[in-house]
Amino acid sequence: MAHRPEAGRITDRRIANARGSLWLTSAYHNATMKRDGSGGMIGTRERHSSEKKEMINTLHITSGDSAGDRLTRSGFPGEVFVWHDILYDGPRNPGWPDENTLNDRALFLEQVTGGGLSREPILDTLKDQYLKLTDVAAYDRIVLWFDACLFDQSMLVHILACLNLKGIRKVELLCVDAFPGIVPFNGLGQLQPDQLASLYDNRRPVSDAQFEFAILTDKAFATQDPVLLSYLSQTTEAPLPWIPAAVTRWLKEQPDPVTGLGELERLALQAILDGCETPTRIFSTVAAGGYSSPILGRHDIMGEDKRTGGSRSSAGSNRRTDGAVAPMDGHDGSGRLQD
């Protein structure tokens, strides 16, 4: 990717903080999604009781605490594990990260959120995630639940690449880009538990071709190879059909040669210059201008901590669908990773 030029033409300090404001807009949208709807479960457990025995030793991996919470309440036995990271951006290597990569990513995420997330809790969360992947062979079934957006697709291909390195290819995928009666559809976290349960039969085994395409895409995001990213964006009949659009979305965020800003940064900055001073106002203004909200995948590991000071003590934990809560050590205070 092109190196960001010095912002010599940018004199307003608010521009220097534009990227941090983008994180706030995504965080606000996710917080809004967490609170809309009452989360009904009528009929869910009865409708899926025949599957319970089959799914006892199942691991459900998804993106975002909102989706994770709804999956937990969907009536499925097994464990729901929420993955947190922004895998289309920042320093990393393809596939399984080494210790230096994890440290670099933790520092990157602390910096890009302006200190809204702290390095040590981030590092703990990242380590916990890969530790979980080392244990997946103990599960009878692994089901990946992801949206079609850039955020989720970069996460999906990375998890598949890591599972492949562990010799795990018995994986099922449920990727959703729409739901009947919900317009606009912003992602799994928007659905009620019974609506999520209704999608379960749509899952499909991940094919060898999909694994190989995921490995290639994970390499593209990790290396930021412009030739490879361009190739993926133009791929027709891709084994993972949402990847070309996701990569195209990311290419639009590359720095303009004059301003150094990507498309979303430019729009958010304009909202700030027009007088929007809060995450709510910034997001609402950008969205009202026709800019699609899922471009960064409404999910943002920043979550609500930036706004609430870490008051939600149970957020950021990983949950079993039988109701038990397994908090991540070191993630019960301000600065933890969550959606």
75 pLDDT tier (thresholds 50, 70, 90): confident
Q: Is 126 helix (H, G, I), strand (E, B) or coil?
A: helix
Residue 145 has pLDDT above 70, yes or no: yes
Mean pLDDT computed over 89-107 = 96
| Token duo for residue 129 | 């995630």
Residue 70, pLDDT score: 93
- The more confident residue out of 219 and 66 is 219
How far from the centroid of its chain's Cα atoms is residue 309's Cα?
Answer: 21
56 pLDDT tier (thresholds 50, 70, 90): low
Ranges of beta strands (E only) in the chain are 58-63, 79-83, 141-147, 172-176, 204-205, 318-320, 325-326
Mean pLDDT computed over 215-227 = 97
Residue 330 has pLDDT above 50, yes or no: no
Mean pLDDT computed over 127-152 = 95
Length of the chain: 339
On average, the pLDDT of the chain sits at: 76
Within a 10 A sphere around the Cβ of 165, how many other Cβ atoms? 13
- The more confident residue out of 235 and 305 is 235
Residue 283, pLDDT score: 82
Please tell me the distance from the alpha carbon of residue 254 to that of residue 154, in angstroms, as a whole number: 16
Mean pLDDT computed over 103-132 = 94
At position 317, the amino acid (one-letter code) is S
- The more confident residue out of 166 and 331 is 166
- The more confident residue out of 131 and 33 is 131
Q: What is the helix (H) or strand (E) element at residue 197, kind and residue range?
A: helix 193-198
Residue 3 has pLDDT above 50, yes or no: no
Mean pLDDT computed over 53-69 = 83
312: left (phi over 0), alpha (psi -120 to 50) or beta: beta
- φ, ψ dihedrals at 65, nearest 5°: -65, -25
CA distances from 185 to 51, 149, 178 (A): 27, 11, 6
47 pLDDT tier (thresholds 50, 70, 90): very low
| Token duo for residue 195 | 């609506």
Residue 34 has pLDDT above 60, yes or no: no
291 pLDDT tier (thresholds 50, 70, 90): low
- In sequence order, the 6+-apart residues with CB closer than 8 A to the CB of 157 are 213, 214, 215, 217, 218, 221, 240, 243
Residue 334, pLDDT score: 32
Residue 143, pLDDT score: 96
Mean pLDDT computed over 108-129 = 93
At position 7, the amino acid (one-letter code) is A
Closest C-alpha to 287, from 306, 267, 262: 267
Query: Rounded to a whole number, what is the largest CA-CA distance in the chain?
Result: 64
Mean pLDDT computed over 158-162 = 98
CA distances from 60 to 76, 106, 321 (A): 9, 25, 9
- The more confident residue out of 254 and 302 is 254
Within a 10 A sphere around the Cβ of 14, how many other Cβ atoms? 12
Residue 15 has pLDDT above 50, yes or no: no
How far from the centroid of its chain's Cα atoms is residue 229's Cα?
Answer: 19
Residue 130 has pLDDT above 80, yes or no: yes
- In sequence order, the 6+-apart residues with CB closer than 8 A to the CB of 188 are 62, 63, 64, 66, 67, 70, 71, 145, 146, 147, 176, 196
Residue 206 has pLDDT above 70, yes or no: yes
Percent of the chain with pLDDT over 70: 68
- The more confident residue out of 75 and 331 is 75
Please tell me the distance from the alpha carbon of residue 135 to that of residue 71, in angstroms, as a whole number: 21
111 pLDDT tier (thresholds 50, 70, 90): very high
Within a 10 A sphere around the Cβ of 241, how many other Cβ atoms? 15
Residue 328 has pLDDT above 80, yes or no: no
296 pLDDT tier (thresholds 50, 70, 90): very low
Please tell me the distance from the alpha carbon of residue 161 to that of residue 145, in angstroms, as a whole number: 16
